[in-house]
Amino acid sequence: MSAGERYQVVIGLEVHVELSTRTKAFCSCPVAFGAPPNTLVCPVCLGLPGALPVVNERAVEYAVRAGLALDCRIAATSLFARKNYFYPDLPKGYQITQYESPLASGGHIEFASNAEQRRVGITRVHLEEDTGKLVHRPGAGSLVDFNRSGVPLLEIVSEPDIRSAEEARLYLQELRTLLLLAGISDVRMEEGSLRCDANISLRAAGGPPGTLVEVKNMNSFRSVKLALEHEAARQARLLSAGERIVRETRHWDETRGITFSSRSKEEAHDYRYFPEPDLPPLVLDPGYVERVRAAMPELPAARRERLATAYQLPTYDTAVLTSSPQLYQLFEALIAAKLPPKDSSNWVMGEGARHGDACNWDPHKVIVLTTGLRDTLSLIKKGVISGSTGKSVLDEVCSTGLTAEEVVSKRGLHQISDQGLLTQVVQEVIASQPDVVADFRAGKEKALTFLVGQVMKRTAGRANPALVNRLLRERLMGGTLGGAPGGDPGGGRS
């Protein structure tokens, strides 16, 4: 049974993003991933009595950048509030957040879904603090690490404009790229710096809004899609059977592929929100917002558009190169070296991505990869090596740190563009394949491909293919065709 037929799926996403500031939101403790537990703490982020918070200016700037990137209105005055609840990872007993007056509101995100341009509204973007982290040790109780306590978070809430699980995934992907390019977060869902909760309901055609169910614990883009697909189908099944949907929070269980009920959903009034008395209203003058706007980096839509028009790249390439700053930087380095755009894009998306992922984009190795890719492509462009040799040259550059030129001379990989040498091989091949030669002369064009293959085989793949083609044609057609000797594209190096 398909949920999409009788019911319209209505999804809104609530995303939390850790900002990549150097220090926490309301104290000067460093923000770092993987430090020993409880080493990045102070009285403020431990919630000790009498400790007072001070707003991190950089966190505010990042929040404004996100608001602008999402086309929001930036509030001249926004307020901090306390959200009260008890949980062992929350030492103060409340979270500092924004409630009635968020920093930014009324924006949108656009993305393509099935060749259709979709626009999803952004209700609000506000600044808040993260909680600590509980570590559960089977049989040994639970431990708490407050290193994450007070790390600045953005909460980004969408309008319920998303109409399918796949659209939810596309929305998240675009949001991730946007925040990445805005330079405010590393948005790694696996490391928890981007977290996503969803509100999902089903609405019968023309009927009233359905009951909202909140889905939590989706830890990857793929699990967002799977969880929401599953949840839409579950609700459709209940409604078709005449049952009611319970307003509740459900957790996604990745291994079982189901959502399960975890608690009935709190209402906002359960949190007893009230204005944070320790922080003054956040006042942003228009000049400040304009300065942040003027310093905004290039955003995804603009970058894709520029890549398409400046380099005639297909939509797929512009999307892949924009989705990753690392791939984009590799591409930029190749363009700066005046290498052909489409070849550069292919190499970056293929070999560049493969080597980059293999070293987890270690900055030192990326330097080697960048120059290696640039030099390898230059050697191919100059005809010194063939495209297929290029891949193994780059492999060796990345594993040894040698330059591409060093690898080529050490291994004797130069492409053979010596006309005299190749003519000799071509004549040998023609002599050894009388049947194929006869086929070609009888008009079978395909026979030529076979003969080119034979020449490549005898030269261990190093022959310049364009030259081999020309030489074969000349010999087979009586030597009267083709260009002047010495005009080969390979420049005569061997």
Residues that bind Zn ion (CB under 5 A): 27, 29, 42, 44-45
- How many angstroms separate the CA atoms of 230 and 224, rounded? 10
| Strand 152-158, strand 194-204: pairing | unpaired
Residue 45 site contact among Mn ion, Zn ion, none (CB < 5 to 8 Å, cut-off depends on kind): Zn ion
Distance in Å, CB of 97 to Mn ion, minimum: 6
Q: What is the chain's alpha carbon radius of gyration, rounded to the nearest angstrom?
A: 30
Residue 155 site contact among Zn ion, Mn ion, none (CB < 5 to 8 Å, cut-off depends on kind): Mn ion
Residue 229 site contact among Mn ion, Zn ion, none (CB < 5 to 8 Å, cut-off depends on kind): none
Nearer to Mn ion, 155 or 276 (CB): 155
Nearer to Mn ion, 93 or 491 (CB): 93
Which of 217, 257, 216 has its CA nearest to residue 234?
Answer: 257
Distance in Å, CB of 64 to Zn ion, minimum: 23
Nearer to Zn ion, 44 or 472 (CB): 44
- How many angstroms separate the CA atoms of 75 and 22, rounded? 25
Angle between helices 325-336 and 315-323 (to 10 degrees): 110
Residue holding tokens 């190169």?
A: 321
Distance in Å, CB of 167 to Mn ion, minimum: 23
Contact range with Mn ion by CB under 5 A, out of 152-160, 168-176, 356-364, 456-464: 152-160
Distance in Å, CB of 37 to Zn ion, minimum: 14
Nearer to Mn ion, 273 or 450 (CB): 273
Which of 197, 201, 200 has its CA nearest to residue 172?
Answer: 197
Distance in Å, CB of 32 to Zn ion, minimum: 12
Nearer to Mn ion, 199 or 469 (CB): 199
Is 155 a binder of Mn ion (CB under 5 A)? yes
- How many angstroms separate the CA atoms of 494 and 485, rounded? 16
Residue 269: alpha-carbon gap to chain centroid: 37
Nearer to Zn ion, 42 or 299 (CB): 42
- How many angstroms separate the CA atoms of 185 and 20, rounded? 5
- How many angstroms separate the CA atoms of 33 and 368, rounded? 26
Residue 29 site contact among Mn ion, Zn ion, none (CB < 5 to 8 Å, cut-off depends on kind): Zn ion
Distance in Å, CB of 80 to Mn ion, minimum: 13
Task: Calculate the CA dihedral of residues 307, 309, 310, 314 and round it to 10 degrees.
Answer: 50
What residues make contact with Mn ion under the rule CB under 5 A?
A: 155
